[in-house]
Amino acid sequence: MTIQLFLRRALLACAILSAAFTPYRGANAQDYPNRPIRLIVPFAPGGGSDFAGRLIGQKLTEQLGQQVVVDNRPGAASLVGTQIAARGAPDGYTLLLADAGFTINIAFFKDPKYDAFKDFAPVSVIAATPYILVVNPQLPYARSLKEFIAAAKAQPGKLSLGSAGSGSGTHMTGELFRLRAGITMTHVPYKSVGPAMADVVGGQIPATFSTPPTSLPLVKAGRLRILAAAAPKRSALLPEVPTFAENGLPGIDVSNWYSIMSVGGTPQPVIKRLHAEIARAIASPDMRPRLAASALEPAPNTPDEFRAMIAREIKRWVGVVKDAGIQQQ
C-alpha cells in the first residue's frame, strides 16, 4: 500500500467517524423546522379528524413560519394513513393526526402493521369529545338510561345498537356499555355514524353511539335524545347530560380524541418544540371558541402523559375485544 493510498483511506475513515458522531442537525430544536411539515390525516376530508388536523395545522403554520401541509390518506379504518406515517423519517417533518381509533385498531386487528410505541412518538392530544348514547325519543323506554337498560334486559338480543362500523369507536364503546350493563344487544354496523343516526330517527333501530359534533343538530331539533355521556364528569358542552357513572355504570369513560404524533425515534428536542407549539396553539384566544363550535373541548397533555394514556387505552380495548367475544380482523 502506498503512503498516498494509506492517507486517503485514513482521511476517509476519519470523515465517516466524524459524520457518525456529529449531532443530528434535526435534533436541534432551534433549527426546526426549516422546511414544510407533512401532517397525515388518515381520514377523508370533511370529518372531525380532518377539521382538527386543519385547525392545528393552520395554527402551527402561523407559529412556526413553515407550511404544515395536511395530507388526507383515508382507508381501512385509518390503517392506510397510519401505516404511511409509520414509514416516515424520524425528523419531525412527518406527523400523524391520530384519533381514538389508533388504539382501538391495535386490539381489533390481528396485524395493524404498526407498533404504537416503536413506530410513533406521542406529542400531545389536541381536543376530545365524549361518546354519547342517543335514542329515538318516541320510544317508550327512551326517557332514561335505566329504562333503556331495563328494556334491553327484558328482551335479550331483541334490541339493536348501531355504530359507525365494526371496530369503530362507536362500536367499541357500545360493547363496553353492553358488558358493563350486563345486557345483550344486536350490533348493527353502518359505513359511518350518519346513516346510523338516520335509522334511529326513522325508527329502524332504537339507538346508536355517536359524538356531540354529529348528533347535536338532531338533538336540538328534538329528533334524538341523549341518554348518557361516556365522560368522567359532565361536559361543559353538555351540562344537562348525565354520565354513565351517574347512572350506576362506572368505567365507561371513552372520548374520541384528536392528537399529534411524530415518527418513532424523532429527537427529543424536536418533540419538545412541537409540544410547546401545540400547547401554545391550544391556549390561543381564538382556539377554544373554534373547538367549542364543533363540540370539542381542549385536552392538551404532555408526551409522557399521552404515552401512558395510549397504554391504558390499548389495555382496555384488548380486554373489551376478548370479553365481548369479538373476532379480530
Residues 57-95 have pLDDT tens digits of 999 999 999 999 999 999 988 999 999 999 999 999 999
Average pLDDT, stretch 7-22? 37
What are the CA-CA distances from residue 248 to residues 151, 180, 241, 244, 251 (Å)? 16, 10, 14, 7, 10
Confidence of residue 240 (pLDDT cuts 50, 70, 90): very high
What are the CA-CA distances from residue 272 to residues 34, 40, 266, 278 (Å)? 16, 20, 10, 10
What are the CA-CA distances from residue 165 to residues 181, 196, 316 (Å)? 21, 9, 19
Average pLDDT, stretch 93-113? 97
Question: Helix 79-86 crosses helix 101-108 at what angle (to 10 degrees)?
Answer: 100
Average pLDDT, stretch 262-290? 96
The pLDDT of residue 131 is 96
What structural domains does the chain harbor? Answer: 26-128+256-323 (3.40.190.150), 132-247 (3.40.190.10)
Residues 158-182 have pLDDT tens digits of 999 999 999 999 999 999 999 999 9
- Is the confidence at residue 9, as pLDDT, over 90? no
- Is the confidence at residue 279, as pLDDT, over 60? yes
DSSP string covering 199-231: HHHHTSSSEEEE-HHHHHHHHHTTS-EEEEE-S
Average pLDDT, stretch 236-257? 94
The pLDDT of residue 192 is 87
pTM: 0.86
The pLDDT of residue 17 is 32
The angle formed by the CA atoms of residues 249, 252 and 186, to the nearest 5 degrees, is 85
